[in-house]
Structure 1
């Protein structure tokens, strides 16, 4: 299958240029002299860079549970979203093989209904049974990303880069003290069910926000919406003017006309 270079991309344009240079050499000389080709290709390669991109760092974007099962015929590895799911899959496999151990060596004829119990009974405390065995362990899912040189809320491209690197931190298990959280540009947004107050709680933590997002007054521009209603907005809504202080402001307040005893507008000067 022939590959057609795309002139709309820098790489495709470079390949087309190289073909044109070699065609021009053949037209001029009637052949492809090796020395001339070396010069042409050498200059053409100068248009490329083969350096490894700097500033790439591994970013954990999630976590999976790895289930490895092996026997004489296979060595399988599968990924699961949580430990309970991995254990359930392992228990299902054990129950499908229960006939070969049922009623022998103290094994009951029917496997236990509890997933952990059936796995422990079948494999034993060492997680192996003859030439069979398994392991279950958590592993981070990572990718390499290059942090943007600048974060600007007025730059759509920079925002898209940051948005694409957002990370979700799940609660590992019911006994985990952590809470599910989304992390983006240093901001932490927690969304969870709170039994104490009987509500869905949303908590935004700004202490670790990227300094490029923090305004001169120390705040982060933010809008919070629920459905179609904006419930918080410190971007378009201007803060209330601060009351003047000092001795001039005190004199103004003391000399300001007082409203009549019956209420109404202040009396105007005559």
Structure 2
């Protein structure tokens, strides 16, 4: 099957230009001399780029606290989910070596109960090269442009599920709330002291357009335990009958089944009761 270049595209226009150049060479010389052909191809190929193009977006997926400890013999770096945990670990080591500094430079003979105070007193009495640093660092990843996303495609759904990101609160003073982000959908789950309840809130303003139906809704089903409390699907599946033994083993099995199920979203811009559900 012969391919006909399309002159309306840059590639097709370039192929037709090359054909004209080679026809002109044939008309002038009666052949395609090697040196002249190489010169023509060199100029023609310079119009193209053959670099592999990948659209990569840097995405911050979380934060870790980096604890760097060093002394005369070693340098150890560990990662912690929060500052308090890193300080608690460091304070435990400091208290185990407290006899090395007790009674010197105003250091009390017994280590303080406050972790930060104990760490500051211990390292303040130490001479170089022993020390530590503790600082927060973002955890990032490079996200490639996603392929076509369809709720009817098992592989595409699995790929989206594996790319879900958890956004935790950085500390108790953080004004944000813990949130899971998947395909642009934000699902918040948190404890609300005002309502004295566990609250779940779904935000759909940034949902991937490929998940939005023609009626501007996002297919969604919300379940609590084995009960469907909201759905905007065409048909509501019958709840599974409760059979067999109950207890913590059964609860774990149900949890495992639910984590393999892709959950959609409700009408965008609409805040129905189950979208902000107290459970």
Name the residue aligned to 2:140. Answer: 142
Are the aligned partners of 2:101 and 2:126 in contact in 1 as well (CA < 8 Å)? no
Residue 212 of structure 1 and its aligned partner are, at CA, apart by 1.2
Looking at structure 2, the residues matched to 66 and 140 of structure 1 have their Cα atoms a distance apart, in angstroms, of 10
Name the residue aligned to 1:57. Answer: 57
Looking at structure 1, the residues matched to 91 and 182 of structure 2 have their Cα atoms a distance apart, in angstroms, of 38
Looking at structure 2, the residues matched to 114 and 61 of structure 1 have their Cα atoms a distance apart, in angstroms, of 31
Residue 53 of structure 1 and its aligned partner are, at CA, apart by 6.5
Runs of 4+ in 1 over 6 A off after TM superposition: none
What are the Cα deviations for residues 119-142 of structure 1, in whole angstroms up to 9, with x where unaligned? 122234xx9743222111122223
Looking at structure 2, the residues matched to 129 and 81 of structure 1 have their Cα atoms a distance apart, in angstroms, of 29
Name the residue aligned to 2:213. Answer: 215
What are the Cα deviations for residues 14-71 of structure 1, in whole angstroms up to 9, with x where unaligned? xxxxxxxxxxxxxxxxxxxxxxxxxxxxxxxxxxxx9766123333333221100111
Residue 84 of structure 1 and its aligned partner are, at CA, apart by 0.7
What are the Cα deviations for residues 59-89 of structure 1, in whole angstroms up to 9, with x where unaligned? 3333221100111111110011111110001
Change (3 A) 1:237 1:81: same
Change (3 A) 1:196 1:146: same
Name the residue aligned to 1:248. Answer: none
Change (3 A) 1:128 1:104: closer
Name the residue aligned to 2:153. Answer: 155
Residue 92 of structure 1 and its aligned partner are, at CA, apart by 1.1
Looking at structure 1, the residues matched to 155 and 142 of structure 2 have their Cα atoms a distance apart, in angstroms, of 19
Of structures 1 and 2, the larger Rg is shown by 1
Residue 165 of structure 1 and its aligned partner are, at CA, apart by 0.5
Name the residue aligned to 1:226. Answer: 224
Name the residue aligned to 2:104. Answer: 104
Name the residue aligned to 2:185. Answer: 187
Structure of greater relative contact order (alpha carbons < 8 Å, 6+ residues apart) = 2
CA RMSD of aligned residues (A): 2.1
Please give the secondary structure, in 1, of the residue aligned with 2:69. Answer: strand
Change (3 A) 1:138 1:52: farther
Looking at structure 1, the residues matched to 138 and 52 of structure 2 have their Cα atoms a distance apart, in angstroms, of 24
Looking at structure 2, the residues matched to 113 and 233 of structure 1 have their Cα atoms a distance apart, in angstroms, of 52
Structure 1 unaligned regions, length at least 5: 1-49, 239-270
Please give the secondary structure, in 2, of the residue aligned with 1:84. Answer: helix
Looking at structure 1, the residues matched to 234 and 82 of structure 2 have their Cα atoms a distance apart, in angstroms, of 42
Looking at structure 2, the residues matched to 191 and 128 of structure 1 have their Cα atoms a distance apart, in angstroms, of 45
Are the aligned partners of 1:122 and 1:129 in contact in 2 as well (CA < 8 Å)? no
TM-score (norm 2): 0.63
Structure 2 unaligned regions, length at least 5: 1-49, 237-279
Looking at structure 2, the residues matched to 155 and 128 of structure 1 have their Cα atoms a distance apart, in angstroms, of 61
Looking at structure 1, the residues matched to 217 and 142 of structure 2 have their Cα atoms a distance apart, in angstroms, of 30
